[in-house]
């Protein structure tokens, strides 16, 4: 069984990042793939402190990521980078959580630029030994791609579904026993 955990680095209740990650999870869920969404907007995750081992939900969140064969990381674009919510969660994680894990990336932008955000995410995943798949999805003007909770842009939907397939494929390559 392959477990895919998506981590939404947005604090917004109606987050386009969270909605986009859910599209990926829906595309791969079922059969021998189990999915789960971690909404950091609802997690008890105090600001990371290197002198305190565990705070709030950190132990549980790290375990869920560590136990997964694949992880999807999503963040809204903030100042050409990722959100502080994503960064705080990622500061809790190490190679123990990401080594030999397939990782997919999603960045949602209110405007038109997301490239730097994806690059920053790739760099931090590389630093904890995650295997980032080449497929990644940046969504420009995310609010225009949704009608309420429904993704209306079929091109974006196809790219999100391809990301899911790539992450599951890489997880199977890394964990043939799963």
- Retrieve residue 36's tokens: 């789960």
Query: In sequence order, what are the residues at sequence separation of 6 or more whose Cβ sits closer than 8 angstroms to the Cβ of residue 110?
Result: 76, 77, 141, 142, 143
Answer yes or no: are the C-beta atoms of 64 and 36 closer than 8 Å. Answer: yes
Bin 129: left if φ > 0, else alpha if -120 < ψ < 50, else beta.
left
Domain boundaries, the chain: 2-174
- Do strands 131-132 and 102-108 pair parallel, antiparallel, or not at all (unpaired)? parallel
pLDDT tens, N- to C-terminus, the chain (178 residues): 999 999 999 999 999 999 999 999 999 999 999 999 999 999 999 999 999 989 999 999 999 999 999 999 999 999 999 999 999 999 999 999 999 999 999 999 999 899 999 999 999 999 999 999 999 999 999 999 999 999 999 999 999 999 999 999 999 999 999 9
What architecture (CATH level 2) is domain 2-174? 3-Layer(aba) Sandwich (3.40)
**What are the helix and strand counts (H, E) for the chain?**
6, 8
pTM of the predicted protein model: 0.97
CA 40, chain centre distance (Å)? 11
- Retrieve residue 12's tokens: 């917004």
- Retrieve residue 131's tokens: 């295997």
Strands (E), 9-132: 33-39, 70-76, 102-108, 131-132
Find residue 103's DSSP bridge partners. Answer: 71, 132
């Amino acid at each position: 069984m392959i477990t895919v955990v998506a981590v939404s680095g947005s604090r917004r209740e109606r987050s386009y990042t969270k909605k986009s990650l859910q599209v990926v999870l829906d595309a791969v869920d079922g059969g021998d793939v189990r999915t789960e969404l971690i909404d950091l907007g609802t997690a008890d995750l105090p600001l990371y402190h290197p002198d305190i081992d565990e705070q709030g939900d950190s132990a549980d969140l790290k375990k869920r990521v560590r136990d997964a064969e694949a992880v999807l990381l999503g963040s809204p674009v903030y100042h050409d980078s990722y959100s502080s919510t994503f960064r705080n969660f990622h500061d809790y994680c190490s190679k123990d959580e990401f080594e030999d894990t397939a990782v997919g990336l999603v960045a949602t932008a209110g405007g038109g630029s997301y490239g730097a955000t994806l690059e920053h995410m790739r760099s931090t995943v590389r630093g904890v030994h995650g295997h980032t798949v080449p497929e990644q999805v940046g969504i420009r003007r995310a609010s225009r791609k949704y009608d309420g909770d429904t993704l209306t842009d079929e091109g974006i939907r196809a790219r999100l579904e391809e990301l899911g397939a790539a992450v599951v494929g890489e997880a199977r390559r890394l964990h043939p026993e799963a």
